Amino acid sequence: MSDKIKALIAHHLNLNPEQAEEALASFKPVSVNSGEWLFRQGDEGTSLFLLVRGRLQVWASDGDREDGRWLGEVRAGETVGEIGLLTGQPRTAGIQASRDSQLITIDQPAFETLSTRYPAAARALAGGIATRLQQRTSGDAGPTRRISNLCLLPLNNQPEIQQLVDDLIDDISTHVNVLIVDPDRLDEIGAPLADFSASSTDIPETLKSWLDKQESEYDMCIYRCQATDSAWTRFAVRQSDMVAKVARTADSCKPSSWHQSLVDTPGSKLARNCLILMHPAGGPEVIQGTAEWLDSYEPEFHLHVRDGNSNDLERTSRILSGRAVGLVLSSGAARGLAHVGICRALHDANIPVDWIGGSSIGAIIGGGIAYDLGPDDVDHRVHSGVVKGKSFSDYTWPAVSLLAGKRMRRNCRKYMPGLIEDLPIPYFCVSTNLNDGRQNLHRRGALALAAGASASLPGLLPPTVIDQQLTVDGAVVNSLPINEMRQMPVSKVIVVDLSSSESHRVDYKELPSGWRIQLGRMLPFIKRYRAPGIASMLLKAAELGRLERDRRKLALADLIIRPPIKRFGMTETRSYQDIVKVGYESARDAIDQWLVGAKEAS
């Protein structure tokens, strides 16, 4: 271990091996258990820490992590506290151990002595700070939580649950280099067991160090547990980046006493918390009852696996192993019908959609995709609800909006039944609170209500009432919820961008009167002026307000699909088939180029 520590010191302080040997004497060892704070935001900053083993989380909060904002992770071999060491300023963020961790630390007086002898050490730290600041402002993808340790925790020991765990492990192992860490089979994988057995009340340091080393040898370590609050289960939960609890919906959703005891232990709530709900054969055709499970276990997210459904199993495997694909669908009114063609192009290219996020019309079409019934079903729902159902044609006295919105609400209820949490594919959409302009992130509740609210463009459609608050179109504040998708457990993000950067010149010096514009549209012998209608003006004005924000967010996407839909009007639903075709063809071309690039890169 001392050789490893000296190598880390040499790397971070730009020292040769002999100098690192001398510098080692200035450092002191520090141990932090999972759940403990190394320091909090605002604490005195007079020391540098180098993480030797374990994992730390960075929080913009000086209190409990629920009150803070997760900023990123610190992995073995990385440092924290450079700014405080060099400037003496208070800590700008809190550092909490997400695993049992070992560090070494050097305080300010000792470092000043060391840097006087080796000036390159201070320059190396300053250069590392500058590099991280540049990365934060370069537009690169934000912090993500890489899943290298996964804990599979059954909520009971029913054979069906054990079989699902086996199936998940088999599927993950097919695609990822995995080490299965089972307490009953540690000897089979060469673990040191001199001071450990399955009934041990503590995990020896020799085993912890060995498991830490395996993390660098494999893409993922899967910790397998039994439905019990044992020392092994507690250790596995503390060491994991994600804890996936597996339950059968045929069983009671009331948490057991052992589970409550487990979640009350320090460090048990730092990993991403997933609930996998197994739906036995012979149950309801449509998923039901998810809300009660979520209220009981309060997971960060949940996944459905229906018995015999290979799509569900493979999707769950991809999400747990960090291979999932997220699809973000944007606003665009009738032009957003291009999403239907894009959905079909992804299906034809065998690109799975594991998580869906949408805004405005993207929320509606994304909801149709989330039923996981294929592109034909999406086409039917959208065409029946938007085109045949004439969702954009019930004009009314414009006291609040140009459209009454009754047809939109009726069609949403008819073609988008059920709750968001019961959808087979994880889904979210965004809307805007009309009172304070805050964004609403909808991940639970009635799908028709949430998606309809997300598409309630001010002036065109009336606001939607949610929790006694007036709610309008999500595109008012966020037409491309890419940042929100990046917070989900997805690896790749595909974005459909329907904003237009094209410009057009008009053939008049002054906008003609409304009468002349209307006559030109109705009579062939009157000059036709190119001018937007009221609805198009409202939609375009909303788009202009956030174009620049959208362009910056696009840096977070892995694939951007931009269908050429400028020639279609913002309310031109009669061109449904043409818009869908343009979406399909543009997506097919973009996907082909993306796959070729990915193949060349590998």
Catalytic residues: 360, 473
- Please name the residues in contact with 278: beta carbons below 8 A apart, sequence gap of 6 or more: 160, 161, 164, 246, 247, 248, 249, 305, 307
For 33-108, strand residue ranges (E) read 37-39, 47-53, 55-59, 70-75, 79-80, 94-97, 101-107
Tell me which residue of 457, 450, 447 sits closest to 415, measured CA to CA: 447
CB 473 within 8 A of CB 432: yes
Cα–Cα dist 426/151, whole Å: 21
- In single-letter form, the type of residue at position 361 comes to I
What are the distances in angstroms from CA 157 to CA 172, 183, 186, 296, 519? 21, 16, 20, 19, 75
Residue 175 in tokens: 């695609």
Show Cβ contacts of residue 136 under 8 Å, excluding neighbours closer than 6 positions: none
Give the number of C-alpha atoms closer than 13 A to the C-alpha of residue 593, restricted to the C-beta side: 9
How many helices (H) and strands (E) the chain has is answered by: 21, 22
H-type alpha helices, 227-370: 231-239, 257-263, 290-297, 310-320, 338-348, 361-369
Length of the chain (residues): 602
Backbone angles phi, psi at 457, to 5 degrees: -70, 125
Separation between Cα atoms, residue 27 and residue 29, nearest integer Å: 7
Structure tokens at 302: 């949940």
Residue 41, phi then psi, degrees to nearest 5: -60, 135
DSSP 119-141: THHHHHHHHHHHHHHHHHTTT--
Task: Please give the single-letter amino acid code of residue 271.
Answer: A
Check if the beta carbon of residue 200 is closer than 8 Å to that of residue 235. Answer: no
Contact call for residues 546 and 475 (beta carbons, < 8 A): yes
Confirm if 198 and 207 have CB atoms less than 8 A apart. no
User: Rg (Cα) of the chain, in Å, rounded?
Assistant: 28
Long-range Cβ contact pairs of 541-547 (< 8 A, separation 24 or more): 542/331, 542/457, 542/458, 542/473, 542/475, 542/476, 543/331, 543/475, 543/479, 543/499, 545/476, 546/475, 546/477, 546/478, 546/479, 547/499
By C-alpha distance, which of 233, 261, 267, 239 is closest to 65? 267
Beta bridge partners of 561: 496
